[in-house]
């Protein structure tokens, strides 16, 4: 099968082009020997099928990051390259285009965002540009699908041009010559989105806009999540699944070992999807009924902000603050990704340049950034006691994130590099591309969450049956009761947090604790130790030595914060 590579600078719409060219089924994979992810899918070219690979974004063929190095390495594996170029920034895009031509790459150029170029008064003579480059050039609008059919039709015409390798000065002189010969720009007035984009990076207006966006985002996540739980998930479980579980409970005989594993314990003679803790009760309800709606709503909001172009502006706005933590502004992006799941958040630290930065970012994400599944349980468990307890948890975690980052910046030797990044224009996201992105992330969550939650429930039941938790609870009772002010039974939840923190919070809900105790327990659990998936990724990214240091910081900071909260809330 022919292999077609989709290559271009970051933020030129490659993902939207990929979505238009491939079917519904795509595969996300890690490049061999690395944790850098790329996406591939099958597309049709006439009667033939070809494998389309969305290569990590690159500005040049001289690698400055691991993702760019892999993009260059993948170039040797493709038969044809579709070079996606932002039509609104032709000069920048041609930097990679000419380097590909110099490598005698069989390729064609897709001039994306053709509509935006027209709106900005940019006119490009496609015929002249095609003649200057020596390869086919097709103007497209990936979001609407304009020009996609013409792009597919011209893929067989892809060819290599006879372009010699040039020194850097000659290279950019040639780009200037091509742009001058093929592009003209006329005056026009700024649009509302352009004015909003400029305001988003100014100190005072930007902070106000950021506050509004964060408030609106969390409000949307909570509204969508709670609506789905109340209108869909709870009625389905209570109306359809509970009667089946009650009949199965009678068949398995309450009190038997099999009943304890499959159904769990009955609460007042009834199945309780939170407290029963069986494989088919809590094991399914926690990931599907309590967590999935919030995860879905979070990924919808995050995907919108990503595609709209707000996240790079937030990075610029927070660059000064992040430098005080030993990082540059772009490090806020891994933390935001961590709000969905800590695993992609930790993986995203690869965009940071130094080992020192990566250690700081990974550690503060693991300690101070609760994933969407954990946040769902925080809202579900503490929200019923009042919003102030939820705010205490979030405020404490944010302070821990900021203070620990500042502390690590002071004690670790090294410097923070300056922020150099591309800021794309604001664009209204394509519903189709956004839906596809959310679907892929949700499918990945379900593949990971449901099996791990059910495994966690099974292990907890087995450990309870063997009396392991009772022994550990007695051993840790002084710390649990005197320092944190929690019942000694809470140690079971802390241990299960290594498998999944959302399940662990669900276990806390089954204990008879006050709102203050729950607040302390949830905060300590969020900071205490990474879940097993995050633990493995931390080990791969940091190595054993730095992982050990990071874990010690987690343990020390969580106990200190827990003791302080206990003193305040007691």
Tokens standing for residue 550: 């990071």
Going by pLDDT thresholds of 50, 70 and 90, the confidence category of residue 73 is confident
The number of CA neighbours under 13 Å toward the Cβ of 313 is 24
Going by pLDDT thresholds of 50, 70 and 90, the confidence category of residue 446 is confident
According to the model, what pLDDT value does residue 67 have?
66
Output the furthest CA–CA distance in the chain (Å, rounded).
83
According to the model, what pLDDT value does residue 453 have?
65
Is the CB of residue 342 less than 8 Å from the CB of residue 534?
yes
User: Given a cut of 60, is residue 30 above it in pLDDT?
Assistant: no
Looking at residues 472-477, what average pLDDT do you find? 74
Task: For the beta carbon of residue 169, count every other beta carbon within 10 angstroms.
Answer: 8
In sequence order, the β-bridge partners of residue 54 are: 6, 39
Lowest mean pLDDT among 102-111, 298-307, 393-402, 412-421: 412-421
Element (H, E) at 4: strand 2-8
CA–CA gap between residue 351 and residue 358 (Å, rounded): 9
How many helices, marked H, and strands, marked E, lie in the chain?
27, 9
According to the model, what pLDDT value does residue 24 have?
46
Looking at residues 419-432, what average pLDDT do you find? 76
Looking at residues 29-53, what average pLDDT do you find? 70
According to the model, what pLDDT value does residue 29 have?
46
Decide the pairing of beta strands 48-54 and 2-8: parallel
Could you give the residue range(s) of every CATH 3.40.50.300 domain in the chain? 2-188
Is the CB of residue 401 less than 8 Å from the CB of residue 368?
yes
According to the model, what pLDDT value does residue 94 have?
94
The predicted-structure confidence for 180-222, as pLDDT tens digits, reads as follows 999 998 877 777 887 888 888 888 888 899 889 988 887 888 7
Is the CB of residue 446 less than 8 Å from the CB of residue 372?
no
CA–CA gap between residue 85 and residue 96 (Å, rounded): 9
Q: Would the pTM count as exceeding 0.85? A: no
- H-assigned helices in 107-241: 114-119, 126-133, 148-154, 168-182, 192-199, 203-228, 234-236
Q: Radius of gyration of the chain from Cα atoms?
A: 27
Distances (CA, A) of 465 to 257, 267, 491: 9, 18, 16
Output 392 or 323, whichever has higher pLDDT.
392
CA–CA gap between residue 125 and residue 142 (Å, rounded): 19
Going by pLDDT thresholds of 50, 70 and 90, the confidence category of residue 31 is very low
According to the model, what pLDDT value does residue 261 have?
83
Tokens standing for residue 416: 């923070």
Task: For the beta carbon of residue 550, count every other beta carbon within 10 angstroms.
Answer: 22
Going by pLDDT thresholds of 50, 70 and 90, the confidence category of residue 28 is very low
Going by pLDDT thresholds of 50, 70 and 90, the confidence category of residue 274 is low
- H-assigned helices in 412-500: 431-466, 468-477, 491-496
Q: Which CATH superfamily is domain 2-188 in?
A: P-loop containing nucleotide triphosphate hydrolases (3.40.50.300)
Element (H, E) at 314: helix 310-317
Is the CB of residue 55 less than 8 Å from the CB of residue 36?
no
């Amino acid at each position: 099968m022919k292999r077609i590579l989709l290559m271009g600078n970051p933020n030129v719409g490659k993902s939207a082009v990929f979505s238009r060219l491939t079917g519904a089924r795509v595969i996300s994979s890690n490049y061999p020997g690395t944790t850098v992810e790329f996406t591939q899918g099958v597309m049709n070219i006439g009667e033939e099928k070809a494998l389309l690979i969305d290569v990590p974004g690159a500005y040049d063929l001289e690698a400055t990051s691991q993702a760019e190095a892999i993009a260059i390495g993948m170039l040797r594996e493709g038969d044809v390259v579709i070079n996606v170029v932002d039509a609104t920034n032709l000069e920048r895009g041609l930097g990679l285009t000419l380097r590909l031509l110099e490598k005698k790459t069989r390729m064609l150029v897709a001039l994306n965002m053709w509509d935006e170029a027209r709106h900005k008064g940019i006119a490009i003579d496609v015929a002249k540009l095609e003649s200057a480059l020596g390869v086919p050039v097709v103007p497209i609008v990936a979001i609407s699908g304009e020009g996609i059919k013409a792009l597919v039709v011209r893929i067989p015409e892809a060819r290599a041009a006879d372009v010699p390798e040039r020194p850097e000065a000659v290279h950019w002189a040639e780009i200037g010559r091509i742009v001058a010969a093929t592009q003209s720009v006329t005056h026009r007035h700024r649009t509302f989105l352009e004015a909003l984009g400029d305001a988003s990076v100014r100190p005072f207006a930007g902070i106000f806009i950021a506050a509004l966006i964060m408030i609106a985002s969390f409000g949307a996540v909570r509204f969508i999540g709670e609506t789905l739980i109340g209108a869909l998930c709870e009625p389905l479980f209570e109306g359809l699944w509970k009667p089946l579980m009650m009949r199965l409970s009678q068949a398995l005989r309450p009190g038997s070992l099999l009943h304890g594993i499959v159904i769990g314990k009955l609460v007042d003679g009834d199945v309780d999807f939170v407290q029963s803790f069986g494989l088919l009760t809590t094991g399914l309800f926690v990931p599907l009924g309590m967590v999935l709606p919030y995860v879905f709503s979070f990924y919808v909001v995050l995907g919108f902000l990503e595609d709209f172009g707000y996240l790079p502006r937030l990075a610029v706005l927070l660059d000064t603050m992040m430098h005080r933590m030993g990082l540059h502004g772009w490090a806020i992006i891994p933390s935001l990704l961590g709000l969905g799941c800590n695993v992609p958040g930790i993986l995203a630290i690869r965009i940071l340049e130094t080992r020192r930065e990566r250690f700081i970012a990974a550690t503060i994400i693991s300690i101070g950034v609760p994933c969407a599944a954990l946040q769902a349980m925080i809202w579900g468990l503490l929200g019923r006691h009042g919003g102030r307890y939820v705010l205490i948890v979030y405020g404490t975690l944010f302070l821990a994130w900021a203070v620990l980052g500042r502390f690590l910046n002071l004690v670790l030797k090294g410097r923070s590099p300056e922020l150099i990044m591309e800021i794309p224009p604001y664009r209204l996201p394509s519903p189709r591309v956004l839906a596809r992105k959310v679907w892929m992330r949700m499918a990945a969550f379900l593949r990971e969450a449901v099996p791990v939650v059910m495994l966690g429930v099974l292990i907890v039941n087995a450990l309870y049956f063997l009396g392991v938790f009772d022994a550990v609870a007695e051993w840790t009772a002084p710390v649990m009761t005197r320092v944190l002010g929690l019942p000694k039974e809470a140690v079971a939840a802390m241990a299960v947090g290594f498998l999944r923190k959302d399940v662990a919070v669900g276990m806390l809900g089954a204990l008879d604790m006050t709102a203050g105790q729950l607040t302390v327990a949830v905060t300590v659990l969020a900071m205490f130790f990474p879940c097993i998936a995050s633990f493995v990724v931390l080990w791969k990214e940091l190595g054993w030595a730095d992982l050990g240091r990071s874990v010690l910081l987690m343990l020390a900071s969580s106990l200190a914060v827990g003791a302080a909260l206990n003193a305040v809330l007691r």
